[in-house]
């Protein structure tokens, strides 16, 4: 780790422990991106999939994914306040009922060990009110995929901005 200091900030440079496994194992990148493509085929809006991925990445502390999904949301036209409020979505006025349900679902599935029954009947009913089965399936694939990416990145300490 190197520290670069200037008059306004200290930047700590991190290096990954190893090259990303998705590039080291034959078919690794195709497998992981394939799961994301399945989620995209569900017909859910891209910005909703990005919100879900950003929230899971925040919970998992994956700096690379937080930066990447923040950038994708901003590049896709999301307002800076909306993106900044994802971590506090319950108290922020920027999210629809559908987005709130997806964010709650994301948190439940990302933090499985927090509850003996992570997806309560109430949350499942809310999901059914907001999404059809195909869309719920897409969310399950997206949430599963981002959690895999986050766990790999955490293990190798993949730094934000690194490729």
125 contact partners, CB below 8 Å, separation of at least 6? none
- For the chain, the domains span 2-156
Q: Which CATH superfamily is domain 2-156 in?
A: AhpD-like (1.20.1290.10)
How do residues 132-147 score in pLDDT, each as one tens digit? 999 999 999 999 999 9
Q: What is the DSSP string of 33-85?
A: HHHHHHHHTTT--HHHHHHHHHHHHHHHT-HHHHHHHHHHHHHTT--HHHHHT
3 state DSSP class of 88: helix
The dihedrals phi and psi of 39, each to the nearest 5 degrees, come to: -60, -45
What's the pTM value of the predicted model, to 2 decimals? 0.90
Q: Using pLDDT thresholds of 50, 70 and 90, give the confidence band for residue 13.
A: confident
pLDDT category of residue 9 using cuts at 50, 70 and 90: low
pLDDT digits (tens, 9 = 90+) for 40-69: 999 999 999 999 999 999 999 999 999 999
């Amino acid at each position: 780790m190197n520290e670069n200091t200037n008059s306004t900030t200290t930047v700590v440079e991190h290096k990954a422990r190893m090259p990303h496994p998705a590039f080291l194992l034959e078919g690794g990148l195709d497998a992981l991106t394939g799961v994301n493509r399945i989620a995209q085929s569900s017909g859910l809006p891209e910005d909703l999939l990005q919100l879900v991925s950003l929230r899971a990445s925040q919970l998992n502390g994956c700096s690379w994914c937080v930066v990447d999904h923040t950038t994708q949301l901003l590049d896709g036209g999301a307002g800076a306040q909306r993106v900044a409020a994802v971590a506090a979505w319950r108290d922020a006025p920027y999210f629809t009922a559908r987005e709130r349900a997806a964010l709650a679902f994301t948190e439940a599935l990302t933090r499985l060990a927090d509850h003996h029954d992570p997806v309560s009947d109430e949350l499942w009913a809310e999901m059914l009110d907001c999404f059809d089965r195909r869309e719920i399936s897409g969310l399950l694939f997206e949430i599963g995929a981002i959690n895999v990416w986050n766990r790999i990145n955490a293990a190798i300490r993949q730094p934000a901005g690194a490729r």
